[in-house]
Structure 1
């Protein structure tokens, strides 16, 4: 079950994008090899040595948008403002075409400057990250069949943010070293239908609603993974105010810390536990007919350290009703945790500090899902970082109206990718 309707995709726009790239980036296309996997693209930039390669990732599909409520058309790519205040308005500027084009700009500039990487560099551009991720999976399968095992994989994910962690005034560069599992769980109730004028005491919809409220009333247990502890310890050194004493003693004060993070915000609450959100509901096809089937889809983000099996067991205990069928669809386990030391981590951290010298670089568990999770099958160092500064208001435009990026931010993103590539 995909997150968006694949059958509604405008494939002509994808074809036009692929055709336009060689015209926009002629030096890159004259130097790198390109192959297609469906609409997904894999480029190979051959290095001078035979060391383990680097993979830079992005995706160019976006979630749907209509003109309604947008200050500028979502697919108009309109520029406003001047100087440092210039903004580019378009669906995908932050998620994730902005990063994709920044990668292309960086490689084009390096090729023009005569740079050749020490080892191979691959560019992996997915076409369906927002739905099923089949493009990334096909690319991983192709690389695995060739015996390619990348030293470093860098996909979208965290960003340079402010105001997300209490007491920390500096900008924070959050680098995803893992990501939560993502699973859709369908709850289904089936029983006899009939005329709505003579309903039974417990209709299918009422039983389903009861199951949902029971699940909502019993959240998953909270805790802190090793990565989250590292994040708190890293940021604790830069915290001011009364919370500094808690954050710098994270391991000894773990229960208190879990309680604090569970109350600060939706983002920090999601850090400490598996979360559930009912996203889809269905019932009768007619206003005056009892439903024979009522169903709900629960979007579950599974905490690192847990599993799909544990998640389903908790949901069954919480609902406690054998007449509610519970089944996992699109089940994905949490990703393995990539190292926070060593040359690959340092390459990413160094690239960040070269462009954002005041930022505190910290690992974190990515709450969303990316194509990068598929690459954990062939690489031990998969990181998720989008090299853009994003305010809370800008992060709120992801998958929403008025998505946009500051041009100055995007240009700094290009510099980040150039810095990472110069070191590979």
Structure 2
């Protein structure tokens, strides 16, 4: 059952999102670089946009700039089966504004799309949640069980606010029955040969690890370079990592995804997926070679992202540094990953330092009441989509809730083609108005069924 005016609800959501995109809530690991006034202005804009939500729900600040709403349920044991809907309102830098069709913080509405940093990641989801709640409150709706909205302000960096929110709920004895955050989406063209869009729901996240590679050398004048100086030694280490990728495997979640895609894949793949138990090894090999996204589903990946050497063109580097951003596959660990890097590099003069890291999350069940609830809501809102679990490549705030909830899922109810997915953290991020409206309807459906 939807609201009586879905078009009007979508229009209001677009207007609200257009306003909220204008706030430059860019997060940074350097506190001095965070424009706190922009975050405060964003938070101050919410009550006028969603007066019913702020009147009916309890709301508190967490860790300074995050928000935690509680919508009390009507049942006598309303707190026994609470749900948490999550989003974050911080964004990554917009980069060169000249590369954007419309300015990144303009919230430009061209009648088809709303443009701007954060429209997809993740202010759009925040607006869809609040718009759904506002519309339901106007109808007099009250949930049976408690519902929490947890909105983070530093997901793009440390995620400390989400950790604080989870700790706060744990201290109050709240153990969520369901947690839903951003992550998967209704992805078009996500799997080679499958024409139907796929609603991919993250049931786990790969671990995230940053390792600094450091080499040292006496330095000196570039006119008399030594053999295997700091930069050459670092380059060799990077090349060895590149030439020795982590071994492949096919986690059960990925195998289930292939089974669900199977009936809709081209004939050769359809037959192979139907016999996955017999062909698991060759299918793992093939899946790792279909593309970068599918390859990342089969192994721990390493991307060297930053490099630093000499400060002068004619000066030998006394130190050379690189950062390896690693996404750890389910089943691997931080410790095991670092140990393997040491063996691959085979050079004790290359120092490895763990900058920050965490193991993969537990895998939430892709059967049972919580999964069936999500599956039903997705099917009602996106009847054209195949629904499947998958393992997320990136990280979300929801990983902070796995200690207090066994059913943690990652799904943004937005249709995204390859170009849309590519615009996240890049230029020309935008969301279609129709997509935003369907997102609102998804959350309305979910809140009713909870």
Please indicate, yes or no, whether the TM-score normalized by the shorter chain is above 0.5: yes
The residue that corresponds to 2:5 in the other structure is none
How many residues end up aligned between the 2 structures? 419
> Equivalents in 1 of 2:250, 2:31: separation in Å?
36
> Equivalents in 2 of 1:328, 1:260: separation in Å?
32
Deviation for aligned residue 1:5? 4.4
The residue that corresponds to 1:75 in the other structure is 105
The residue that corresponds to 1:359 in the other structure is 385
Q: Assess if the C-alpha contact under 8 Å between 1:187 and 1:326 holds in 2.
A: yes
* TM-score between both structures, scaled by the size of structure 1: 0.97
Deviation for aligned residue 1:237? 2.4
Deviation for aligned residue 1:366? 0.4
Q: Which moved more, 1:214-223 or 1:110-119?
A: 110-119
2:54 paired residue among 29, 35, 42: 29
The residue that corresponds to 1:58 in the other structure is 87
Q: Assess if the C-alpha contact under 8 Å between 2:132 and 2:441 holds in 1.
A: yes
Cα deviations by residue, 1:124-180 (Å, 9 ceiling, x for unpaired): 000000011011011011011111100000000000012221232211100000000
Deviation for aligned residue 1:4? 5.4
> Equivalents in 2 of 1:52, 1:203: separation in Å?
60
Gaps of 5+ in 1: none
> Equivalents in 1 of 2:179, 2:309: separation in Å?
44
2:37 paired residue among 3, 9, 12: 12
Q: Assess if the C-alpha contact under 8 Å between 1:167 and 1:241 holds in 2.
A: no
Deviation for aligned residue 1:208? 0.3
1:330 equivalent to 2:340? Answer no
2:194 paired residue among 162, 168, 189: 168
> Equivalents in 2 of 1:16, 1:346: separation in Å?
39
The residue that corresponds to 2:260 in the other structure is 234
Deviation for aligned residue 1:238? 2.2
1:204 paired residue among 224, 227, 230: 230
> Equivalents in 2 of 1:299, 1:3: separation in Å?
17
Change (3 A) 1:337 1:182: same
> Equivalents in 1 of 2:177, 2:159: separation in Å?
22
Deviation for aligned residue 1:7? 3.0
Q: Give the alignment of 1:109-188 within 5 angstroms.
A: 109-188=135-214
Cα deviations by residue, 1:250-302 (Å, 9 ceiling, x for unpaired): 22111111111111111001010000000011111222211111110000000
1:272 paired residue among 285, 294, 298: 298
3-state SS of 1:237 partner:
helix
Q: CA RMSD in A?
A: 1.1
Q: Assess if the C-alpha contact under 8 Å between 1:233 and 1:247 holds in 2.
A: yes
Q: Which moved more, 1:387-396 or 1:239-248?
A: 239-248
> Equivalents in 1 of 2:220, 2:174: separation in Å?
60
3-state SS of 2:289 partner:
helix
Q: Assess if the C-alpha contact under 8 Å between 2:190 and 2:197 holds in 1.
A: no
> Equivalents in 1 of 2:191, 2:417: separation in Å?
13
> Equivalents in 1 of 2:265, 2:274: separation in Å?
9
Q: Give the alignment of 1:229-378 within 5 angstroms.
A: 229-378=255-404
> Equivalents in 2 of 1:3, 1:276: separation in Å?
23
> Equivalents in 1 of 2:186, 2:130: separation in Å?
21
Cα deviations by residue, 1:301-330 (Å, 9 ceiling, x for unpaired): 000011111111111111000000012121
Q: Assess if the C-alpha contact under 8 Å between 1:188 and 1:324 holds in 2.
A: yes
3-state SS of 2:389 partner:
strand
Deviation for aligned residue 1:6? 4.4
1:406 equivalent to 2:435? Answer no
Deviation for aligned residue 1:3? 7.2
Q: Assess if the C-alpha contact under 8 Å between 2:28 and 2:34 holds in 1.
A: no
Q: Which moved more, 1:285-294 or 1:181-190?
A: 285-294
Gaps of 5+ in 2: 1-26
3-state SS of 2:186 partner:
strand
Deviation for aligned residue 1:245? 0.9
> Equivalents in 2 of 1:6, 1:358: separation in Å?
44
